[in-house]
Amino acid sequence: MAIPQLDTSLMSAVERFGAIEMPKLEWTPAVARETEAYYERVKSVVPPVEWPAFAPYVRAIKQLKRERNAVILAHNYMTPEIFHCVGDFMGDSLQLAKEASRVDADIIVQCGVHFMAETSKLLNPDKTVLIPDRKAGCSLAESITAADVRALRETYPGVPIVTYVNTSAAVKAECDICCTSSNAVKVVESLGAPRVLFIPDEFLAQYVATQTDIEILVWKGHCEVHERFTGDELRAYRESEPNIQIIAHPECPPDVLEEADFTGSTSGMIKWVKDNRPPKVLMVTECSMSDNVAVETPGVEFVRPCNLCPHMKRITLPKILDSLVYLKDEVTVDQSVAARARRSVERMINLDN
Ligand code: 13P
Ligand code: SF4
95 with 76: CB under 8 angstroms? no
Task: Report the separation in Å between the CA atom of 140 and the middle of ligand 2, taken as the mean of its atom positions.
Answer: 7
pLDDT at 296: 95
Run of H or E residues at 188:
helix 184-190
What b/e string do you get for 113-151 counting C-beta neighbours within 10 Å, with b at 16 or more? bbbbbbbbbbbbeebbbbbbbeebbbbbbbbbebeebee
* 49 and 31 part of one domain: yes
Average pLDDT on 301-326 reads 95
CA distance 313 to 332: 22
Residue 253 lies in a domain: yes
289 with 269: CB under 8 angstroms? yes
* Per-range mean pLDDT, top range of 37-41, 97-101, 348-352: 37-41
* 276 and 210 part of one domain: no
The enclosing domain of 116 has a CATH number of 3.40.50.10800
Task: Report the separation in Å between the CA atom of 236 and the middle of ligand 2, taken as the mean of its atom positions.
Answer: 25
Average pLDDT, the chain: 95
Q: With 90 as the cut, is the pLDDT of residue 44 above it?
A: yes
Q: Choose the final residue of a domain: 223, 251, 267.
A: 223
Residue 158 lies in a domain: yes
Phi-psi region of 327 (alpha: psi -120 to 50; beta: other; left: phi over 0): left
Run of H or E residues at 108:
strand 107-111
Q: With 60 as the cut, is the pLDDT of residue 257 above it?
A: yes
Ligand 1 atom nearest to CA at 180 = 2
* 59 and 115 part of one domain: yes
pLDDT at 245: 98
Residue 352 lies in a domain: no
Residue 320 lies in a domain: yes
Residue-wise pLDDT for 98-123, tens only, equals 898 888 999 999 999 999 999 999 99
Q: Choose the final residue of a domain: 180, 204, 223.
A: 223
- How many separate domains does the chain show? 3
Residue-wise pLDDT for 158-179, tens only, equals 999 999 999 999 999 999 999 9
* 295 and 264 part of one domain: yes
* 131 and 159 part of one domain: no
Q: To test the ligand 2 pocket, which listed residue (116, 180, 226) has its Cβ within 8 A of the most ligand atoms?
A: 226
Ligand 1 atom nearest to CA at 249 = 3
* 173 and 205 part of one domain: yes
Residue 2 lies in a domain: no
Q: Choose the final residue of a domain: 223, 245, 271.
A: 223
Task: Provide the strand spans (E) within 219-343.
Answer: 245-248, 262-263, 280-284, 301-303
pLDDT at 209: 98
Residue 284 lies in a domain: yes
Q: With 80 as the cut, is the pLDDT of residue 252 above it?
A: yes
The residue range of the domain holding 207 is: 141-223
* 233 and 218 part of one domain: no
**What single-letter DSSP state applies at residue 9?**
G
* 202 and 270 part of one domain: no
Residue 333 lies in a domain: no
CA distance 129 to 324: 11
Residue 347 lies in a domain: no
* 19 and 101 part of one domain: yes
